[in-house]
Amino acid sequence: MTNIGILNNPTRFLFFTGKGGVGKTSLSAAVALSLVDLGKKVLLVSTDAASNLDEMLGVELKNSPVPVPNANGLFVLNIDPDNAAESYRKRVIDQMSYDSSEDERSNVREQLSGACTTEIAAFDEFASLLSDVNKEYDHIVFDTAPTGHTLRLLSLPKAWAGFLKDNDRGASCLGPHSGLKMQEARFLLALKALSDTSQTTIVLVTRPEKSAMEEVSRTSDELKTLGLSNQRLIINGIFKASDPKDIVATSIQNLGLKAINEMPKSLRLLPIDEIPLRAFDTVGLSGLKALLREEFLIKENPADIPKNSEEKQLGLDVLVDQLAKSNHGLIMVMGKGGVGKTTIAAALAIGLVKRGKSVHLSTTDPAAHITGTINGSMPGLLVDRIDPKVETQKYIDKIMERKGAKLNAEEKALMLEDLKSPCTEEVAVFHAFSKIVSEAQNSFVVLDTAPTGHSLLLMDATGAYHRQSIRDLSKAKMDLKKIVTPLMRLQDPLYTQIIIVTLPEITPVSQAAALQEDLRRAKIEPYAWVINKSILASGTHDVLLTARMNGERKQVERIKKGLASNIFILPRQVTPPIGIEVLSKLI
């Protein structure tokens, strides 16, 4: 059995967090299964709106605990944002006066339709697990969303507890304040549990890659400032090449060793577990158990291992040529965390500039790696980010300037207090997003989006704004043909091209497919898929990497046959795709 220290005297609450694509879901499920095998009763909770625990465990996720077949003692729960939000809306509306009119109730329901309500409702479910006094489960394991979204989640107990303290007036974005005030005690209990080192362990998960190490180091520091100091590190997917003459395999091995040897000092001080790269997909109970325990390892049949593909694949150069046929437009790069969205967005932006276009490259990702990926400057390319803190302060200043002039000191203080609500960030980020979307009327805008779950919340806000705008204009009896909302721009295939990025692995492809369905429900049709880090297209003959090709080929065929017709493939790179010169070679 792999000697993994986290299973030695684990705390009751275990939080798995890290950059998207590092294996948080696989590891959290594998640890939960190991705890069950030790005779514990365990609840595995997903806080990721784009979770694929259902596929991994073979059980339908619900917003209440369900038992996992063939894993006695293991229960799984998905904190579904939509269900949580609907439950929250119902509680708020039920608190309204019995003689409230249907118009009044409808108005409150619409006010509570935004992403902020979704977030706080999901957090309310999360906080209830942390403040659980019945201790029905020996352990509660949290499989969290990618880093930026998780930091937001874990900071909410402190943010809302601070906002609610001695505040009996604000928080208009969440409806009747009394309903939120009732939750204050729960928020404080959640904050206490998170900060208690005897109760909670933060499990920082990383791959042996420089960017993942740097992000998890920043996460570690930020969580410490929130009082979450009991941390440990898991380095997942450590690879050793079988043939020193295989350029692709040795480059992967050497980059991994370099990242581990140069990891930030703060991470070196943590307890560390190392997990080797496996030749199989960690889907199903057998695959998950084999991730941590040698006795369950799955052996590949050499006869089933495919040879390298000789089929000609379309690369990013062809995609850029297609996009460059227009003189302007919005290009949104979307997908699960860790699939390489930032790399693809940066490469597309550079490719368009090299084809004579003016490009604004930005990101909505709280983790924001875009500047480090570009690592330079070039004429015709503007690079920046939507910084939630900066945009929130700009929004507050704008509101205070516009509406505060006619208010007295007490009224100004009340307005400012209301704007300190964590909800304000949602509104501010949406306004910044809308502004960037409108820029694509005259030039190219390439937007590197946050991981799937976070991006869908932004899409929810876009939809809510669209519905409110149409409703307001209808009441004012204005011509609806004259209005163009951000959602309408996203729905226009002549204005917006959505690029979905995935890895050729079962989990990223399933999540990309789910993202595509969510977009289609919003009447947004993706333009193309990019399959990143293809081993089949890399030319390697390493034993372990070749074994992994079997799963990759199945996923490529799956995409071609039922998910996308406009497909582009980027091979696994020997050199890290960082810097303008290296990125230019991709396009």
Q: Which residues are catalytic?
A: 21, 23-26, 48, 507
Whole-number Å distance between alpha carbons of 552 and 502: 11
Whole-angstrom CA distances from 197 to 123, 147, 234, 383, 479 are: 21, 21, 18, 41, 59
**For 69, which DSSP code?**
T
Residue 210 is encoded by which pair of tokens? Answer: 């420089």
Strands (E), 149-220: 200-206
> Considering just the CA atoms, what is the radius of gyration of the chain in Å?
24
Q: Where are the alpha helices (DSSP H) in 506-542?
A: 506-521
In this structure, what token pair is assigned to residue 44? 């595995």
CB distance 341 to 501 below 8 Å = yes
Under a CB-based contact definition with an 8 Å cutoff, are residues 570 and 315 in contact? yes
DSSP output for 1-35: ----GGGSS--SEEEEE-STTSSHHHHHHHHHHHH
Strands 74-78 and 496-502: unpaired
Beta strand 272-276 with 231-238 is parallel
Please choose, from the candidates 377, 522, 497, 512, the residue with its C-alpha nearest in 3D space to the C-alpha of residue 440: 497
Structure-token pair, residue 250 = 């040795």
Q: In what order do the strands lie in the sheet with 231-238?
A: 66-67, 74-78, 42-46, 139-143, 13-17, 200-206, 231-238, 272-276
Q: What angle do CA 492, 493, 495 make, to 5 degrees?
A: 70
Give the SS3 label for residue 446.
strand
CA-wise closest residue to 6 among 233, 319, 338: 233
Query: Token match 């390493």: residue?
Result: 542
Helix/strand/coil (H, E, C) string of 60-92? CCCCCCEECCCCCCEEEEECCHHHHHHHHHHHH
In 445-505, alpha helices (H):
452-475, 486-491
Q: How many CA atoms lie within 13 A of 47 on its CB side?
A: 33
Take residue 383 and report the two structure tokens written for it: 């690079």
